Amino acid sequence: MIGRYLSAMTEVLRRTAGENIRLVRFLYVDHGGIVRGKSAAAARLAERIESGIGHTRAMMAMSMVDELSPVEGMGPVGEVRIKPDPDTFVTLPYAPGAAAMLADQVSPDGTPWDGCARTFLKQAIAELAAEGYELQASFEPEFSLGRHEGASFTPIDESLCYSATGFHLAHDYTIDLVDALIKQGLEVEHYYPELGHGQQEVPIRHATALRAADNHVLLRETARAIAIRHGLWASFAAKPLPEQAGNGAHLHASLWASGTNAFADPSGQYGLSSLGYHFLAGVLAHLPGLVALSCGTVNSYRRLAPQMWSGAFACYGPDNREAALRICSPIGSAGSVNLELKPVDSTGNPYLTLGAFIYAGIDGIRRSLDPGEPLLVDPAVLDPSERDRLSVFRLPSSLGAALDALEADSYLMSVLGALRSTAYLAVKRSEAAHFSGKDVEYECRKHWLNF
């Protein structure tokens, strides 16, 4: 482990010198879902990789509108270090002379800090490994591309979903975006113009859980940066334009053991193994609280509504795109079966989202939970009594309701830990209070600016 770390560090220093890098950004995602960080000068990079950069604990109590929540242990007293992971080093094609690494926040003595979101995902990965499994995952992000003109966001086009016109109008931007992603080691699976005006989708190929979350951060940063260089603006807000389709970031995942997809069973219903059903059932059981993490802003709940293909009801089904959890049909081989979690968007911290998803699935496996019968129709077309009979219920319709569900979920609160869960609830309740009583225009503007 130490040898690998030293080798990665040596490679970072070699590339920094060879590629004339002058500043290296150490990036993390806070509880507000904002990508933040500090940068180290190349001349002191070796020291800063080892020690991290000093940082106030208070930043993990900062909201998406830069309001500081009163959280014990995250005030003006106390220090953490932003410590980068050398394995994540990338030069930034859109920022000549700059590079970046994803970072953990650690205590001054180098030990993990309980307020760090990336550390939470690492803990979930270790817990899953103790059960004998590794999770492969990918986010399926949508974003809106347009022009930032004063207080207005104007989409670049009014093209139809998947239309060739949409490809033409965004072509120059898209090619630059794909090139920049490839140069950072991200494998682009697909690209297409989506339903909303100016809406784009660029899924990245699945990877191990930590890499998948890191990739999602890099994609967000790259899409925004390339847009700026084109005189455009890219927004990952869930509903930057209230009258248009929302931007999701559906999560696809499967469990693997000894090189085999543990979710795949050709003899199982819809090709899913009994292990897969237990995992699915755990996610369903904790989904009301989990969406407080995966749909992390007030604006998220404009998207998370019935018949918006966002998974607004707690249920599952084979290729049911209105169910919160979809069993995806295999593509290419039976081993490609995976689960898709639909109530996810890019305003949620990807490390918290993926970590909580893993922990929920582990709970389902350990307790051999049964998800009940699959739903083969749009849950919104069922009458309420039929939904009750099938135990299909509406997920929280506001950030406040989702936070209440999270706080009531003793298991998720326990795995998050006292400091992290307290800080997250405080930050998100402050955001709910900030936007309470504000009009839709104000809410959407703050979100398309900051995400």
**Span 81-107, pLDDT tens digits:** 999 999 999 999 999 999 999 999 999
Q: For residue 302, what are the CA distances in angstroms to 86, 247, 260, 261?
A: 38, 10, 39, 35
Q: Where are the beta strands (DSSP E) in 248-318?
A: 249-257, 260-261, 313-318
Q: Considering its fold, how many domains does the chain have in total?
A: 2
| Residue numbers of the domain that contains 109 | 2-113
Using only C-alpha atoms, the chain has a radius of gyration, in whole angstroms, of 21
pLDDT score, position 4: 80
279 in a structural domain:
yes
Asked whether residue 95 falls in the same domain as residue 38, the answer is: yes
pLDDT confidence band for 7 (50 / 70 / 90): confident
Asked whether residue 100 falls in the same domain as residue 146, the answer is: no
**Span 293-304, pLDDT tens digits:** 999 999 999 999
Domain harbouring 53, CATH code: 3.10.20.70
If we measure between CA atoms, which residue out of 349, 345, 347 comes closest to residue 30? 349
Asked whether residue 219 falls in the same domain as residue 319, the answer is: yes
φ and ψ of 283, to 5 deg: -65, -45
Asked whether residue 93 falls in the same domain as residue 147, the answer is: no
Asked whether residue 142 falls in the same domain as residue 212, the answer is: yes
**Span 279-292, pLDDT tens digits:** 999 999 999 999 99
pLDDT score, position 105: 97
Cβ pair 382, 312 in contact under 8 A: no
Question: Averaged over 55-79, what is the pLDDT?
Answer: 95
Helix (H) or strand (E) holding 77: none
Asked whether residue 132 falls in the same domain as residue 108, the answer is: no
Nearby residues of 282 by Cβ (< 8 Å), 6 or more positions away: 360, 361, 362, 363, 364, 365, 367, 369
256 in a structural domain:
yes
Q: Which residue among 59, 81, 113 closes a domain?
A: 113
pLDDT score, position 80: 96
118 in a structural domain:
no
**Span 154-181, pLDDT tens digits:** 999 999 999 999 999 999 999 999 999 9
Asked whether residue 107 falls in the same domain as residue 150, the answer is: no
Asked whether residue 40 falls in the same domain as residue 104, the answer is: yes
Asked whether residue 69 falls in the same domain as residue 167, the answer is: no
Q: Which residue among 58, 89, 113 closes a domain?
A: 113
230 in a structural domain:
yes
Question: Averaged over 329-335, what is the pLDDT?
Answer: 79
8 in a structural domain:
yes
Cβ pair 439, 303 in contact under 8 A: no
Q: Which residue among 113, 138, 167 closes a domain?
A: 113
Domain harbouring 299, CATH code: 3.30.590.10
pLDDT confidence band for 1 (50 / 70 / 90): low
Asked whether residue 61 falls in the same domain as residue 180, the answer is: no
Asked whether residue 83 falls in the same domain as residue 136, the answer is: no
pLDDT score, position 2: 73
Is 334's pLDDT higher than 90?
A: no
% of the chain exceeding 90 in pLDDT: 94
44 in a structural domain:
yes
The rounded distance, in Å, linking the Cα atoms of 311 and 287 is 11
Average pLDDT, the chain: 95
Residue 256's SS3 state is strand
119 in a structural domain:
no
Question: Averaged over 204-222, what is the pLDDT?
Answer: 97
First to last CA, the chain: 36
pTM value is: 0.95
Q: Residues 265, 267, 270, 274: what is their CA dihedral angle, to the nearest 10 degrees? A: -60
The rounded distance, in Å, linking the Cα atoms of 196 and 238 is 12
Asked whether residue 278 falls in the same domain as residue 247, the answer is: yes
The rounded distance, in Å, linking the Cα atoms of 241 and 254 is 33
